[in-house]
Amino acid sequence: MSSATSRPHLPSGRLPVLALTALGIVFGDIGTSPLYTFKAILGTAPQGPDRLAILGALSLVLWTLFIITTVKYVCFAMRVDNDGEGGILALMALLGIKKHQRPAIVAVGLFGAALIYGDGTITPAISVLSALEGLNMVTSTFDPYIVPAAVVILVTLFALQSNGTSAIGHLFGPVMLLWFVAIAALGIAGLVKHPSALAAINPVYGLNYLFSSGMTGFLVLGAVFLCVTGAEALYADMGHFGRRPINLAWFAIVFPSLILNYAGQAALVLEGAPTDGNIFFRLCPEGLLLPMVVLATVATIIASQSIITGAFSMTRQAIQLGWLPRLQIKQTSSEGYGQIYVPTVNWLLMLATVGLTVYFRKSDNLAAAYGIAVSLTMLMTSALLFIAMREIWHWNVVAAAAAAAVFLTIDGAFFLANLAKVAEGGYVPLILASGVYTIMWIWHRGAAAVSGRLREQIVAVPDFMKKIAAEAVPRVPGTAVFLTRLTEGTPPVMLWHVKHNRALHQRLVVVRVQVMQIPRVSESDRITVSEVVPNFWRVEASFGFMERPNIPEVLAASKSLGCEVDLDDVTYYVGHETVVRREDGLGLPAWQERFFVAMERNAVHVSDFFSLPNNQVVEIGRQVAI
């Protein structure tokens, strides 16, 4: 489906407001890339860059911004949304992925998502370091304090995450608007001195540089790619604002500002400015240098905040889709569902980001590690887009293959160029992504194994109730609610409850929660209720992967559908599985089983995940051999 069909028409008066807000959430990463990109490109030249090299580098940047961000993401990817949500996980879910049907596509989507965590650790480090390095343009006295200052800023940023951003979030958009206006003005000032830099709009300059410089021309693509490292955020954050506000912000403000600034930096070098130090800050008049460093630092903090928030949102999606263990998720604001805090992810990101900052120490060094994660994610997104063109847009195979081939060729070239930087630091995001992917894979395998074992001994409800009557099991007043994974039969936790307690409530409700492959489920499709036998109801509750399941709310809504539940007189029964090894040798490998057990032991309790009142919950332990 397209976002045009999944979202109501946006009032024209709200469009500029949402576009301004999007500046602070969506465009921080790509908007701060001029701080380090052009410097990294020119740094790949074996000798000082000549005129053709400068124009060639600028041409590659401009056309990369146009083809990757404008054409691929704004014009193509953002038209393929999952009920308004974007990003590689939402795209994977939109294609109706089921593990036993399309394992290769599942692997593509999950590893692409895992790579974003690798990007999320590097973006704050390189952004804050590159901004603070502008202090060296004022005086070299600050040089010993740049890394410590960056560490203090990053630790403070992560430490404040638990408070949410609702109090200051409304300032992000205006600050980023000021940033884009400032970098555009600096670019114009540079172009006034050397307007011939605009000749780089001709793609011939870029192609000549790419194909006439041998391996150097190819490897420079790894640095050129830095200009679009935030493009994936346009797609991933689409659900927060919709397609139109992001498009407006991109075409009216961000894209023109980036073009002007990169062109201004090229013009400055063409005029003879040295390429050592930070080219971006050389554009700034001396009297405004310190305020510009402050503004750049604030902009990079906002960019880092956006990356962290994106990691939180993606974690929740992965949990709901069953690819990560249940983690504590704190809602930090009632104003927006996206305002969440995930402590485990926050502190792991902080440790990784601070570690990278201390280890690499300079933005130039981090640039080598940057790009490979995002380029591989973009390559995987292009592969999924081809399937979307065929299955959602119903393009014929020739048209879909032609469009996808363009994206795959460009993304593939960028990825191969970035592969050359693996030994220089590119291994960092790959190792991080591989670790996250392994966690996802093992958790999903373990959870599937547990569900499979529980399904092996299904007892039909009528047979169970006959046994209860035949054995004269006492029926006590009240309502018992049993949570289950099973689509049919008697929940195992109910069987164990009767076995151990030798009693059963008069009214029984079995609740099964299903997370759908869409972000949100309409209230009319949320709940189905069926009375299996008298006073025994089965409630099926459906939630989207962007929603938080709430069992008491489900039961309250079930009353209107015939399920007689008094929420003040309910006892919730949940099972606590103790996973053990299978003795027949048919279970998971030992190392996977141990890893899964460790994750399950540290996962958030099911009663907290489903918002059950703690004083009404009874937990029944059980062993499950996988």
How far is residue 92's CA from residue 76's CA, in Å, rounded to a whole number?
16
Using CA atoms of 470, 471, 475, 480 in order, give the dihedral in degrees to the nearest 10.
-90
pLDDT digits (tens, 9 = 90+) for 563-605: 878 888 899 999 887 888 887 777 888 889 899 989 988 888 8
Q: What are the beta bridge partners of residue 572?
A: 481, 617
Tell which residue, 454, 452, 436, has the closest CA to residue 599. 436
Confidence band, pLDDT 50/70/90 cuts, at residue 338: low
pLDDT of 8 > 90? The answer is no
Q: What are the beta bridge partners of residue 578?
A: 623
Query: Hunting for tokens 């045009």 — which residue is that?
Result: 4
Determine how many CB atoms are found less than 10 A away from the CB of residue 411: 22
Strands (E), 503-599: 504-515, 527-533, 536-543, 570-580
**Domains of the chain with bracketed CATH:** 3-446 (1.20.1740.10), 457-625 (no CATH)
Listed range (44-58, 393-407, 516-530) with the worst mean pLDDT: 44-58
How far is residue 513's CA from residue 518's CA, in Å, rounded to a whole number?
14
What is 221-271 written as a DSSP string? Answer: HHHHGGGGTTHHHHHHTHHHH-HHHHHHHIIIIIHHHHHHHHHHHHHHHHT
pLDDT digits (tens, 9 = 90+) for 92-148: 777 765 444 567 777 777 888 888 888 778 889 988 998 898 888 777 788 888 999
pLDDT digits (tens, 9 = 90+) for 274-319: 777 788 999 999 889 999 999 999 999 988 888 888 888 888 888 8
pLDDT of 31 > 90? The answer is yes
What is 404-469 written as a DSSP string? Answer: HHHHHHHHHHHHHHHHTTIIIIIHHHHHHHHHHHHHHHHHHHHHHHHHHHHHTT---HHHHHHHHH
| Cα R_g (the chain), whole angstroms | 27
- Length, in residues, of the chain: 626
Q: How many CA atoms lie within 13 A of 321 on its CB side?
A: 29
How far is residue 27's CA from residue 246's CA, in Å, rounded to a whole number?
9
